[in-house]
Amino acid sequence: MARLNVNPTRMELTKLKKRLATARRGHKLLKDKRDELMKRFIELIKQNQELRLGMEQKAAECSRAFVMAGAVTSPEELSQALAYPSCNVEVQVSDKNIMGVTVPEFTYSVKEGSNDPYCYGFVNTCADLDSAVVKMNELLPVLLKLAGTEKAAQLLACEIEHTRRRVNALEYIMIPQLEETIKYITMKMEENERGNITRLMKVKDMVLEKK
């Protein structure tokens, strides 16, 4: 492992020891953050899978109901019945914080009209169309929740990857470099100290010889 290019002095040794302590604390915090993010990510994936299965089941039921309605109702009557919506829906986007990651959360509200999903009269329509409209109305909140969950999982995956790279950079590059440099400076200082002791002993021997 390549060491840092610094002067082997006591001041540099003190600075590097402080940097090493900070790097080790940061490494531990980032590992804890990565592990917690992974835990939240797995929970989101399970929730996303449940929501997707539920959405696909509801969508399939809705599609079957529309097919049955189309079998007993003419296309013109269907088009006329569904031409005018019963309400105007507005989607709101808010932010939610998960371990420092800002993820969107979708909600909706009825802006204009009523909560009644039926936008037609019941004289020229069939019960299958009523069922299809109700199922379609129930599908919207599931779709919004699924969209929020999938986006949150995507953002958490990006943050996990970013945190993992930082953990690896500290664990395999920065901390070993600091440790190697500290070891080098320590050995250099010990070598200089031994050299000084040797010179002092020689000076002492020379002084004793002169006496």
| Distance, CA of 16 to CA of 23 (rounded, Å) | 10
Classify residue 79: in a domain, yes or no: yes
DSSP secondary structure letters along the chain? -PPP-----HHHHHHHHHHHHHHHHHHHHHHHHHHHHHHHHHHHHHHHHHHHHHHHHHHHHHHHHHHHHHHHS-HHHHHHHTSS-SEEEEEEEEEEEETTEEEEEEEEEEEEE-S----S-SSS--HHHHHHHHHHHHHHHHHHHHHHHHHHHHHHHHHHHHHHHHHHHIIIIIHHHHHHHHHHHHHHHHHHHHHHHHHHHHHHHHHHHH-
pLDDT at 98 (0 to 100): 87
State residue 53's pLDDT score.
92
**Cα angle at 47 between 41 and 51, to 5 degrees?**
140
> How far is Cα 28 from Cα 118, in angstroms, rounded to an integer?
57
* pLDDT at residue 115, rounded to an integer: 62
Predicted pLDDT of residue 17? 93
CATH number, domain with residue 127: 1.10.287.3240
127 DSSP β-pair partners: none
Residue 5, domain member (yes or no):
no
Domain that holds residue 14: 10-203
In a domain, 209, yes or no: no
pLDDT tens-place values along the chain, 211 residues long? 677 888 888 899 999 999 999 999 999 999 999 999 999 999 999 999 999 998 899 888 888 887 887 777 777 777 766 766 666 778 888 998 988 899 998 888 877 655 666 665 665 667 777 777 788 888 888 889 999 999 999 999 999 999 999 999 999 999 999 999 999 999 888 888 887 777 888 877 777 777 6
Return the pLDDT at 114.
58
Question: Which pLDDT value is given to residue 118?
Answer: 62
Q: How many domains, the chain? A: 1
Q: Is residue 2 part of a domain?
A: no
210 in a structural domain? no
pLDDT for 117 equals 65
Q: What is the pTM of this model?
A: 0.76
> What pLDDT does 44 receive?
93
